[in-house]
């Protein structure tokens, strides 16, 4: 039976649980996270790089201003808007929406990465000073933060013209501060251009590895050649980004696309938080060079390889099972029936822990930080933050799966007691 508008509004407003601390989080996070980005970048460029310094060292207003930064940022976004619309790659359909329709998405993000790499190679051949990105880190981050706020305001305002079935279940509470933060509209589009899908894997994620490459080129300027530590960080994180874009279709079934509205939380995360905090290790190494023995390098390389293997194999198994449960690679796996008609995997990687992909992610995160040594905690910000993020996301997953699958989920949790870390958590 369909829901009338009044019933749907009641359900959207009253039957959802607020995330991220509710109104308090919605007020504090948009203030403190942008300041955190600027603080971390400033620390990575300072000789001491002490996170315990008090009062914390924030950049001056003049350090945030450079007319070149917004031009580069907007040009970068415009380039990827153009690449998004190129007729290359296949077009896939997302999951069924509440109105029974499916949206179509171009799967061509990897092409965007390849074009970006080709442009970087061309700039190196032309002698462009790519190391200048190091000097522009703060102005670029400030510009990305400003764009995040402007885009979030636009998304919030336009959501009031969206039909009720196009709103995210958790983003229409009637509290403007919370709704602005969490996102009211699920899949905001301009024509066929999907704003959330575009931001999820394009300008920020590819921008992350471009910034890393700029740090490598800065090290070449300063020391004549890139260090082994810098090459490991660049290679590991490039592999991670390339993997995400090669498997771009898998993002269509993630919580960000399927469940969360597109508001400040995701906009800021995609455009500012990811490119400017995930690669802190590379910025740190420019000012704090590290010498790695080949033995240490091989250990770090092995750790990243093990993490990547767990991450990729578990995600591939899950995605294959979702696409085609009769595929030979998953037909032998044990499953549990649910009241929704779907089945839950209780063997293979997903019988090991409930989120093996998170385990692989965290092993890789540690491997990205180890090339920076142990003299400072700053390079380990990512692995610490990511542990907190994934534990929080796992808790969100648990609540949603419990609500969706009921007793079947309880049975699964009994069969697979460990959430992320076997025999620990």
Taking residues 373-385, what's their average pLDDT? 91
200 confidence band (pLDDT: 50, 70, 90)? very high
DSSP structure string for 295-347? HHHHHHHHHHHHHHHHHHHHHHHHHHHHH-TTSTTTTTS-EEE-TTS-EEE-S
Over 80: is that where the pLDDT of 5 sits? no
Taking residues 394-410, what's their average pLDDT? 82
Give the pLDDT of residue 54: 65
Cα atoms in the 13 Å half-sphere on the side-chain side of 301: 13
Torsion of CA 149, 152, 154, 155, to 10 degrees: 180
Give the pLDDT of residue 11: 41
* Cis ω before 363 (30° cut-off from 0): no
Distance CA 23, CA 19 (A): 9
- Are 312 and 239 in contact by the 8 Å Cβ rule? The answer is no
pLDDT tens-digit map of 217-241:
999 999 999 999 999 999 999 999 9
Quote the percentage of the chain above a pLDDT of 70.
94
Distance CA 249, CA 272 (A): 23
Give the pLDDT of residue 17: 62
**DSSP code of residue 194:** E
- Are 120 and 213 in contact by the 8 Å Cβ rule? The answer is yes
- Are 237 and 208 in contact by the 8 Å Cβ rule? The answer is yes
189-225 as b/e: b if 16+ CB within 10 A:
eeeeebbbbbbbbbbbbbbbbbbbbbbbbbbbeeeee
Over 60: is that where the pLDDT of 12 sits? no
Over 80: is that where the pLDDT of 4 sits? no
What three-state secondary structure class fits 107? strand
Least confidently predicted of 13-27, 236-250, 279-293? 13-27
Instruction: Please state, rounded to an integer, the average pLDDT across all residues of the chain.
Output: 88
Least confidently predicted of 119-133, 191-205, 249-263? 249-263
Least confidently predicted of 73-87, 92-106, 320-334, 373-387? 320-334
Give the pLDDT of residue 349: 83
Give the pLDDT of residue 56: 65
- Are 59 and 42 in contact by the 8 Å Cβ rule? The answer is yes
Torsion of CA 69, 71, 72, 75, to 10 degrees: 160
Give the pLDDT of residue 343: 80
Over 60: is that where the pLDDT of 125 sits? yes
Over 80: is that where the pLDDT of 78 sits? yes
Long-range contacts of 324-327 (CB under 8 A, 24+ apart): none
Give the pLDDT of residue 107: 95
85 confidence band (pLDDT: 50, 70, 90)? very high
Over 90: is that where the pLDDT of 7 sits? no
């Amino acid at each position: 039976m369909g829901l009338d508008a009044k019933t749907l509004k009641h359900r959207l407003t009253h039957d959802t649980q607020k995330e991220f601390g509710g109104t308090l989080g919605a007020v504090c996070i948009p203030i403190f996270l942008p300041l955190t980005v600027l603080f971390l970048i400033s620390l990575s460029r300072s000789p001491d790089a002490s996170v315990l310094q008090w009062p914390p060292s924030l950049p001056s207003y003049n350090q945030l201003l450079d007319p070149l930064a917004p031009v580069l940022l907007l040009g970068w976004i415009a380039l990827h808007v153009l690449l998004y619309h190129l007729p290359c790659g296949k077009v896939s359909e997302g999951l069924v929406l509440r109105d029974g329709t499916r949206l179509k998405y171009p799967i061509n993000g990897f092409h965007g990465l390849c074009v970006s790499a080709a442009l970087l190679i061309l700039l190196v051949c032309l002698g462009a000073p790519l190391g200048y990105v190091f000097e522009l880190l703060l102005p670029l981050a400030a510009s990305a933060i400003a764009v995040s706020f402007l885009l979030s305001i636009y998304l919030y305002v336009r959501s009031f013209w969206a039909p009720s079935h196009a709103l995210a279940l958790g983003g229409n509470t009637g509290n403007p501060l919370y709704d602005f933060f969490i996102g009211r509209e699920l899949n905001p589009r301009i024509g066929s251009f999907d704003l959330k899908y575009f931001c999820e894997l394009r300008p920020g994620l590819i921008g992350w590895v471009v910034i890393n490459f700029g740090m490598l080129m800065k090290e070449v300027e300063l020391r004549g050649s890139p260090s082994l530590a810098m090459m490991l960080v660049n290679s590991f994180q490039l592999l991670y980004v390339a993997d995400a874009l090669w498997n771009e279709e898998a993002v269509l079934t993630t919580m960000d696309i399927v469940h969360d509205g597109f508001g400040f939380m995701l906009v800021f995360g995609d455009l500012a938080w990811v490119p400017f905090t995930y690669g802190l290790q590379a910025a740190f190494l420019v000012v704090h060079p590290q010498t790695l023995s080949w033995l240490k390098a091989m250990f770090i390389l092995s750790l990243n390889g093990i993490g990547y293997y767990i991450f990729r194999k578990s995600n591939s198994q899950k995605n294959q099972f979702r696409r085609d449960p009769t595929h030979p690679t998953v037909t032998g796996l044990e499953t549990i029936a649910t009241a929704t008609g779907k089945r839950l995997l209780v063997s293979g990687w997903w019988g090991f822990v409930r989120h093996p992909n998170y385990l692989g992610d965290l092993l890789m995160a540690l491997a990205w930080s180890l090339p920076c040594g142990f003299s400072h905690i700053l390079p380990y910000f990512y692995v610490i933050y990511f542990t907190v993020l994934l534990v929080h996301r796992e808790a969100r997953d648990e609540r949603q799966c419990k609500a969706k699958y009921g007793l079947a989920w309880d049975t699964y949790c009994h069969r697979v007691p460990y959430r992320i870390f076997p025999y620990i958590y």
